Amino acid sequence: MKLILLSGGSGKRLWPLSNDSRSKQFLPVLQGANNQNESMLQRVWEQLGKNDLQQIAYLATSHSQVEVLRSQLGPDVKLIVEPTRKDTFPAIALTANYLYSIEGVSLQELIVVLPVDSYVEDRFFSKLKELEQVMQHTDADLGLIGVKPTYPSAKYGYIVPNSEKGVKIDEFIEYYQVSHFIEKPLEEQAQKLIEQHALWNCGVFAFRLEYIINELIHRKMPIQYEGLLKQYERIEAISFDYAVVEKAERIVVTPYEGEWKDLGTWNTLTEEIRTPLIGKGILTDDSSNTHVINELDIPIVVLGVSNVIVAASPDGILVSDKVASQRIKEVMKYQDQRPMYEERRWGRYRVLDYLNYSDGKQVLTKRICVSEGKNLSYQYHINRSEVWTVVHGEGELILGETRRYLREGDVVVIPATMKHSVRAITEMEIIEVQTGTELIEEDIVRLAMDWEEILQFCTS
Amino acid sequence: MKLILLSGGSGKRLWPLSNDSRSKQFLPVLQGANNQNESMLQRVWEQLGKNDLQQIAYLATSHSQVEVLRSQLGPDVKLIVEPTRKDTFPAIALTANYLYSIEGVSLQELIVVLPVDSYVEDRFFSKLKELEQVMQHTDADLGLIGVKPTYPSAKYGYIVPNSEKGVKIDEFIEYYQVSHFIEKPLEEQAQKLIEQHALWNCGVFAFRLEYIINELIHRKMPIQYEGLLKQYERIEAISFDYAVVEKAERIVVTPYEGEWKDLGTWNTLTEEIRTPLIGKGILTDDSSNTHVINELDIPIVVLGVSNVIVAASPDGILVSDKVASQRIKEVMKYQDQRPMYEERRWGRYRVLDYLNYSDGKQVLTKRICVSEGKNLSYQYHINRSEVWTVVHGEGELILGETRRYLREGDVVVIPATMKHSVRAITEMEIIEVQTGTELIEEDIVRLAMDWEEILQFCTS
């Protein structure tokens, strides 16, 4: 068995804590071990660990998430990176091709696709092994896990079985043949579906590797990893549901009875946040059922306001009625803003200040934190110059072709087109003032990433 | 007639927009001419202008407000500055001594004390001239303006007349003898007071200059300005109400029928703010009776939350039920924070970032804006070094004894104890990174303020 974890999403529904580079699965808002906050992704990863499943897991993701994934799960996590963001079918196909053509995984091997943003109990993951047994026991194309509904939700998809009685393969494991799917029914219809033993679709799909490879052959798509990678830009963006699930002839589902939640809105997410105040601030006693998540350095005071979520990050501040919070995506539709906070392979940065002058000049002030032993790429910028003030830690600077030691209090002036890099000996913090005409993250030419390689450019 | 405007208050009730250096009267939240925002102080000052009263007005204030007062009212406003903040009696006495001993004002001259933070109609100020006539017509020690109550408020002080019928001195002007005062009665009692023709006390007091000079003699306090200034540190901090009003024997009051409001809480203040959103953000249609005042650069989104005030400044973020907002002072009682935004004589600054390391080192990043033609004092710091990156405008720098031209992109490193100053030729913006062990505004030694004088220190 191999697992494909899908890490996607732009996270617009959890603005301002999520942005294009930090989707909801990365938000450190859940309570982990030792009262440390952890993200949904970290929770799922830990749960996989408890079930000995980490070593068979592959994360299908896009370029923009690589750094935060490595920073949250460690450097050894296996990533399959889409060159461009497409939909779930291409992402799953690329990972399948990798397993088939690079790792030489058998065509009979079971592949299980999992989302990384559902909130479940640990025993949900033991269901994966039961699903494997169900698939060995049947000739089904697809195997699913269906969650026993606890109320007639109008927000979820339902898996409808074709009989009320399941097939038991042993004392514990049971499965049903799937008749059809129904997406987001009205509450009344949902009630009837539950009476017919329908289950919630939680996005888990199991199939043999040959099933998807055959689908690719049928679609005249490459079945080699490198080949698909080359064509990736041009292939159709379609969902796995649409491309595969809806067309599969023999689908089985095994029921899971236990907690499962989609923490996709502030309303559902805050139900799982035990402490009402994360970050700096004050919440008065008469503010009931209110949650504050504050990632800014200044305090938030909530005085006598109940049933709201207040979330603040360098991107903005949300004050929303909990039930109304699902409308945030719609409200923010026409807002386009550069990310004000990002986690990177080498550390993280935060935008402190952003000025636009009428003559087209821009000024961006950032606080950059480079982790111990990490380095920025050897890079230069076309449209901006930078001034660095080292405020903490020590490291090595490369400016042009010259290497020198850098410590607290040092000031570095980097004109546009000047090549530069920095490596932190101890964790470093740098205040960076960018000035120029188009201050975007994309104005960067990377010449080398690896420090040993970068040193080759130095003449002194 | 001379006017003494009392500009005091620490402004804790309108946190986070007000702080120790920016009391509520300085907040630019009211709608002025040409749809420009103006402060309560600017509104009162304009209203004095319409009634030709600016030239007889003196502002009694404390050191911390001098710069914001000059910046909001211009350089010509007459300020009487308390060396230490005391209560209203010492502040009024100091101004009275200034008028008596420095300006040689007659002892028979009428002095009228006015608050700067009440929200009134223009014609309130024509009442001042009527009060002068009343005082000429009677032998009263004190003359007051009383506001005709519009509802039985439990929050105001009441002036109770000793007869139901006033004395008319002409067709328009009427006054009453005052029997006594009642502070913040219960609503029921307030209703009865209104039936007895009681009036709201709006903090306007008129007296002849000799009255307060005699009071000072009686208290064995100096009646010379310089003398009082020298003893100021040691004199008792008592209110004018307690020291004078409660002991006065003959008090008269003239009624004012018209709008008068104490904009001291977010609830009363927002009633006068016409636009529901000041600053960057979005307020959904179903957020009714909600006001957002955003002084940050990031957007605030309010989604489906009614009857709240959301106020954000570099000091913090408040989300409060409007009625509950009067509790803010109590909630913030134990919070002590450096100001994150200040207006100064030479411009303004904003704190962008503040870091505290475990080894006691601190880093403070500021954006400083120096107004065209203005200069910082010639100064040095004991415990911090500074790095300036000029991001906008041009000016002149003095570093040590050397004078040089400064423009966009220039970087200046200022070690601790190095003397420095800067003057803006055009409006300048500077990103300043401070590093040191105690980054407080008070770590400053000022050698000179005036630019011509500062130039004397230069050798080149």
Measure CB to CB from residue B316 to each of A298, A319, A431 and give the nearest one: A298
Contacts of B284 in chain A (CB under 8 A): 324, 327, 331
pLDDT band at A202 (very low <50, low <70, confident <90, very high): very high
Q: Facing residues of A301 across strands?
A: A282, B318
CB contact under 8 A, B409 and A385: yes
Which residue from A430, A403, A433, A435 is spatially nearest to A419, judged by alpha carbons?
A403
Q: What is the rounded average pLDDT for all residues in chain B?
A: 92
- Each residue of A286-327: pLDDT tens digit? 999 999 999 998 999 999 999 999 999 988 999 999 999 988
CB contact under 8 A, B303 and A296: no
pLDDT at A103 over 70: yes
pLDDT at A394 over 80: yes
Q: What b/e sequence results for B121-157 when a residue is b if at least 16 CB atoms lie within 10 Å of its CB, and e otherwise?
A: eeebbebbebbebbbeebebbbbbbbbebeebbeebb
- Each residue of B224-241: pLDDT tens digit? 999 999 999 899 989 998
For residue B313, the number of C-alpha atoms closer than 13 Å in the C-beta half-sphere is 19
Report how far residue A192's alpha carbon sits from residue A158's, in angstroms, rounded to the nearest whole number: 11
- Each residue of B128-157: pLDDT tens digit? 999 999 999 998 999 999 999 999 988 889
- Each residue of A257-270: pLDDT tens digit? 999 988 878 888 88
User: Is B251 within 8 Å of B303 (Cβ atoms)?
Assistant: no
> Picking from A221-225, A338-342, B123-127, B142-146, which range would have the lowest pLDDT averaged per residue?
A338-342
Report how far residue A244's alpha carbon sits from residue B328's, in angstroms, rounded to the nearest whole number: 58
Which of 325-344 (B) contact A at CB < 8 A?
A: 325, 327-328, 331-332, 335, 337, 340
Q: Facing residues of B6 across strands?
A: B60, B115
pLDDT of A10 reads 63
CB contact under 8 A, A331 and B385: no
H runs (alpha helix) in A219-321: 225-231, 240-243, 266-271
Which residue from B378, B381, B366, B362 is spatially nearest to B435, judged by alpha carbons?
B362
- Each residue of A150-165: pLDDT tens digit? 999 888 899 999 988 8
Q: What is the CA angle A427-A428-A430, rounded to 5?
A: 160
Report how far residue A198's alpha carbon sits from residue A157's, in angstroms, rounded to the nearest whole number: 10
> What is the distance in angstroms between the Cα of B247 and the nearest Cα belonging to chain A?
40
pLDDT band at B349 (very low <50, low <70, confident <90, very high): very high
- Each residue of A7-63: pLDDT tens digit? 987 667 889 988 766 788 998 888 887 778 899 999 999 999 999 999 999 999 988
Report how far residue A118's alpha carbon sits from residue A94's, in angstroms, rounded to the nearest whole number: 23
Beta-sheet pairing, B57-62 with A411-414 = unpaired
User: Is B353 within 8 Å of B338 (Cβ atoms)?
Assistant: no
Work out the average pLDDT over A220-237.
Answer: 93
CB contact under 8 A, B355 and A429: yes
Contacts of B288 in chain A (CB under 8 A): none
- Each residue of B56-83: pLDDT tens digit? 999 999 887 888 899 899 989 999 999 8
Work out the average pLDDT over A170-192.
Answer: 93
Instruction: Say how far residue B305 (Cα) sits from the centre of its chain.
Output: 32
Measure CB to CB from residue B391 to each of A298, A319, A433 and give the nearest one: A433
pLDDT of A75 reads 87
Measure CB to CB from residue B308 to each of A305, A331, A357 and give the nearest one: A305
> What is the distance in angstroms between the Cα of A402 and the nearest Cα belonging to chain B?
21
Q: What b/e sequence results for B66-83 when a residue is b if at least 16 CB atoms lie within 10 Å of its CB, and e otherwise?
A: bbbbbbbbeeebbbbbbe
ipTM score for this prediction: 0.77
pLDDT at A214 over 80: yes
- The phi and psi torsions of A368 (rounded to 5 degrees) equal -110, 135
CB contact under 8 A, A392 and B340: no
pLDDT band at B10 (very low <50, low <70, confident <90, very high): low
Check CB contact of A439 with chain B, cutoff 8 Å. Answer: no
Which residue from A209, A237, A239 is spatially nearest to A98, judged by alpha carbons?
A209
Report how far residue B432's alpha carbon sits from residue B384's, in angstroms, rounded to the nearest whole number: 12
Measure CB to CB from residue B305 to each of A304, A319, A367 and give the nearest one: A319
> Picking from B2-6, B344-348, B447-451, which range would have the lowest pLDDT averaged per residue?
B344-348
Measure CB to CB from residue B365 to each of A304, A331, A352 and give the nearest one: A352
Report how far residue B29's alpha carbon sits from residue B47's, in angstroms, rounded to the nearest whole number: 17
DSSP A101: I
Nearest chain B residue to A353 by CA: give it. B352
Which of 385-414 (B) contact A at CB < 8 A?
A: 385, 387, 389, 391-392, 408-409, 411, 413
pLDDT at A333 over 90: no
User: Is A189 within 8 Å of A181 (Cβ atoms)?
Assistant: no
The tokens for A310 are: 């207040």
Which residue from B13, B211, B218 is spatially nearest to B109, judged by alpha carbons?
B211
Work out the average pLDDT over B86-98.
Answer: 95
pLDDT at A228 over 90: yes
- Each residue of B37-57: pLDDT tens digit? 899 999 999 999 999 999 999
pLDDT at B204 over 90: yes
For residue A42, the number of C-alpha atoms closer than 13 Å in the C-beta half-sphere is 18
Based on DSSP, count helices (H) and strands (E) in chain B, helices before strands: 11, 31
pLDDT band at A440 (very low <50, low <70, confident <90, very high): confident
Report how far residue B359's alpha carbon sits from residue A429's, in angstroms, rounded to the nearest whole number: 14
pLDDT of B264 reads 79
pLDDT at B90 over 90: yes
The tokens for B114 are: 């006015």
Which of 254-283 (A) contact B at CB < 8 A?
A: 281-282
Q: Facing residues of A414 across strands?
A: A386
> Picking from A16-25, A123-132, B176-185, which range would have the lowest pLDDT averaged per residue?
A16-25
Report how far residue A390's alpha carbon sits from residue A27's, in angstroms, rounded to the nearest whole number: 28
pLDDT of A11 reads 67
- The phi and psi torsions of B84 (rounded to 5 degrees) equal -130, 150
**Through-space distance between the first and last CA atoms of chain B, rounded to whole angstroms:** 52
Q: What b/e sequence results for A94-115 when a residue is b if at least 16 CB atoms lie within 10 Å of its CB, and e otherwise?
A: bbbbbbbbeeeeeeeebbbbbb
pLDDT at A371 over 90: yes
Q: What is the rounded average pLDDT for all residues in chain A?
A: 92
The tokens for A212 are: 């998807």
- Side chain identity at A380, as an amino acid letter? Y
Instruction: Quote the pTM value.
Output: 0.78
pLDDT at A218 over 70: yes
Long-range pairs for A186-193 at CB < 8 Å and ≥24 separation?
A: A186/A154, A187/A152, A187/A153, A187/A154, A188/A152, A190/A149, A190/A152, A190/A153, A190/A154, A190/A158, A191/A152, A193/A149, A193/A152, A193/A158, A193/A160
Which of 23-82 (B) contact A at CB < 8 A?
A: none
- The phi and psi torsions of A425 (rounded to 5 degrees) equal -80, -50
CB contact under 8 A, B299 and A314: no
Work out the average pLDDT over A361-371.
Answer: 94
Beta-sheet pairing, A57-62 with A2-6 = parallel
DSSP A278: E
Work out the average pLDDT over B374-402.
Answer: 95
Q: Which residue has the higher pLDDT, A122 or B85?
A: A122
Report how far residue B411's alpha carbon sits from residue B67's, in angstroms, rounded to the nearest whole number: 27
CB contact under 8 A, B387 and A389: yes
Check CB contact of A318 with chain B, cutoff 8 Å. Answer: yes
pLDDT at A208 over 70: yes
Report how far residue A12's alpha carbon sits from residue B111's, in angstroms, rounded to the nearest whole number: 62
Contacts of A436 in chain B (CB under 8 A): none
pLDDT of B63 reads 82
pLDDT at B270 over 70: yes
From the candidates B391, B410, B434, which should be mutated to test the interface with A, based on the most A CB atoms within 10 A? B391
Instruction: Say how far residue A253 (Cα) sits from the centre of its chain.
Output: 26
Report how far residue A284's alpha carbon sits from residue B174's, in angstroms, rounded to the nearest whole number: 48
Neighbours of B180 (CB within 10 A): 12
Report how far residue A368's alpha carbon sits from residue B311's, in angstroms, rounded to the nearest whole number: 29
User: Is B97 within 8 Å of B2 (Cβ atoms)?
Assistant: no
pLDDT band at B11 (very low <50, low <70, confident <90, very high): low
Which of 369-388 (A) contact B at CB < 8 A?
A: 385, 387
